[in-house]
A and B are shown apart, each in its own frame.
Chain A
Amino acid sequence: MKMGEPKHRSKPPPAGKQRIREVARVSGVESDIVGAMRPPRTSVQGHEQAGDASAALVSLFREHQLGLTRTALMIVGDRATAEDAVQDAFAEAHRRIDRLTDPDRMLPYIRASVVNRCRSVLRRRRIAFSAARVHEPPVWSAESSVILGEDRREVFLALQRLPRRQREALVLRYYLDLGEAEIADVMGIGRGTVRSTTARALAALAKHLGEQA
C-alpha cells in the first residue's frame, strides 16, 4: 500500500465466489472451502452477503481454532476428537452460511456447535463404553500424568465425576472465561441456571478433591 493511501479502498470488495477465493487464499485455508461455497443466487446483494459471511467465518477459524480445539479437548478428553469437533462445527457453519448473516452471532453459534458435537461424541462413546468398557481418554488417563502432572490429572478425574452439564459450565467459565450470558447462549439454558450449575459444579468438584469450594 502506498503512503497516504486510505486503508479502505473506495472500490467495493469483490462479491461472491471471487471474494471468498481471495479470502481463502490470503488466509491460507485449503481451497476446498471455495469449492464448497455456493453463493445464494437470489441477488447481487445476496452474493455479497454470502461472501462477507464466508470471509468472517474464515477469519473466525484462524482466530479461534486453537482455543475452540482446546475447549473441546477439556470436554471430550482427546485431541483427535477435539479437532474433529471443531472442524465439523466450521464445516456445518459453512453449509449454513446463508443463515449466518450477523457476524456477531457467528462465534456463539460456532461455540454452541462445538459443545453440541462434543456431547454427541460422548453419547456415542458411552454406547461403545457399555459394549467394550475399554475407553480411557488421554487427558485424564494414567499416561497423561507424565505430561500434565498428577495434581492436574486429579482435577480432570474429579471433573469426569461431574454430570455433563456441570462439566461444560466449568470449562466455559474457567477455561474460556465466558460470562454468564455467553455460557447461557452456548449451553442453551438461562443465566440463572448457569449461575446455579456453576456453583454446584464447584461444590461437587471441591468435594471430590477434598477441599473447600
Chain B
Amino acid sequence: MSRTEGDMRNESSATLTRTEERLRDAFRGAAETIEPGTLAPLTAPRARTWKWAIPIAVAGTLSLILVGTSLLAGGTSRAPDTGSRVLSGGPQRILAIRGGHALLEDGAGHQIVRIAGNHYEAVAATNDRRVFFLAASASGGVYTFYRVELGPDGTPARPAKLPATVRLDSGLGKPESFAASPDGSQLAVVGNLDGQAEATVIDVRTGARRTWRTPSGNAISSATWSPDNRTLGFIWSPGGDRQALHLLDTRAGRLVPRVLRSTATPDGGLINIFAFDPGGRTLTAQVQGAKHGPHDDAEYQLVRLSAQTGQPTGWTARLPGDSFFVKSDPSGNRFLQIIDGRLGRVDNGAFTWTSPATDYTDAAW
C-alpha cells in the first residue's frame, strides 16, 4: 500500500529525542486543524490564451538588451565569481566526492583523474596533502575506509582498504563526521549507534579501534584533530541545552572529554562546526547567526576562536550560505567550503565560488 502524505513511519518513540517528539506532536496538532473533507476541490484554470505572448516577448527582449548593455558598460553582477581565484594560492589538487565517486580535481572543478571504487561518502586529508582517506558506505550502515596516496607527479595510487569498519545508525553522509589526524596515523568517526552517540578512533596501520561512547543519543558531529595528533574535537550535548565544543585526549588512560565552550554565541548565533587550525592555537568555526527581523535566512560566517579559551579572536569571513565543513589548507588562511553542493573557498577572509557544479558531497585539500 502506498504511503500518503502525512503518514508517519512506525518509529519507536524510544529512538526519538524530546525535541523530535515535541516536533512530531506539534505537527500532528497543527495538521488536525485541517479536517478531512473540508478542502475545496481542484479548480484548474482554463487553457491559456496567447494574446499576451507578443507583448511579453517584446518586454523580455528589451529587458535582455538593457541587462546586457548594463553589464557591458561595467555594471556589476550579483553572480559570484567563478574560478577567478582558482589556483591563486593554496593546494593545487582537490580530492572531491561527487555522485559516490572520488575524483582528483584542480581548483576549478576540472577532473584530473577518477579514483577506483565507488560508494564514497567522505574524504579527509592529512597534513602533507598527499595522503587522503576515503570513507565508503556498505550495507547495513557499515563504513569501510581506504587510504589513497598521490605520487610525486600527483597521480593517485590505487586505494588501499584499511582493516577496520565502523557501523553507524546516523550515517556518515555528513562530511563533518569523519577526520584524519594530521600525520595520517589515525582516523576519527563520530556518529550515533544503537541510540548512543560515540566517537571512534581507528589506528590506520592496525585497524585497532578505541571508542568513547556516551549514555545518550544526543547528536554528535564536527570531528577534528589537533595538530599534535592527540586531541579529538567534536560537538555534542551531554543533555539539556548544553551543546558544546568538546575536546577529547585520545591518549589518556580514560577517555573523558572536556568542554571548551558552548555552541551558543552571545548574539544568538550557534556554532555548527569547528576545526583546529594548522598552528593549533586557534580554531575556525562556522557560526549560524540568528534571524533578524523579517529575514527568513540566517547569516553564516567563519569565526576564529582561541583553542585555549574558545573565545573569538576577531577574524571573521562571511559565507553566502550554510556550508558543512571547515577544511583549512596548511597555511590556515584558506578554507574549502561546500554550499548547496557547490564548491567554494575562503581566501584570507573572502569567499569565492570555485566551481559551478552542484553535486559535491565532500572535498579535501
Give chain A's interface residues, CB within 8 Å of chain B.
28-30, 32-33, 35-38, 58, 61, 63-71, 73-74, 79, 82-83, 87, 90-91, 94-95, 122-123, 126, 129-130, 133, 139, 147-149, 151-152, 155-156, 159, 161-165, 170-171, 174-177, 180, 189-193, 195-197, 199-200, 202-207, 209-213
Contact = CB atoms under 8 A, between A and B. Distances in A.
Contacts of B218: 212-213
Interface in B273-306: 288, 290-291, 293-298
28 contacts: A32-B43, A32-B44, A36-B44, A63-B4, A67-B6, A68-B5, A69-B34, A70-B5, A70-B6, A90-B44, A91-B43, A130-B294, A152-B25, A165-B297, A180-B173, A190-B358, A190-B360, A190-B361, A193-B340, A199-B221, A200-B288, A207-B241, A207-B243, A210-B240, A212-B237, A212-B239, A212-B242, A212-B243
A90 B42 CA distance: 8
A203 B27 contact: no
A213 B6 contact: no
B41 A164 contact: no
A205 to B, nearest CB: 6
Nearest to B341: A190
Contacts of A212: 17-19, 216, 218, 237, 239-243
Contacts, number: 224
B31 interface: yes
B134 to A, nearest CB: 14
A203 B44 contact: no
A37 B219 CA distance: 50
A156 B33 CA distance: 14
Interface of B: 3-9, 17-20, 22-27, 29-31, 33-34, 36, 39-48, 121, 170-171, 173-176, 216, 218-219, 221, 237, 239-243, 263-264, 270, 272, 288, 290-291, 293-298, 322, 324, 340-341, 358-362
Give the secondary structure class of B's interface.
loop
A202 B219 contact: yes
Per CB-CB distance, the 7 closest pairs between chain A and chain B, nearest first, are A67-B5, A67-B6, A155-B26, A175-B27, A129-B294, A152-B26, A70-B31
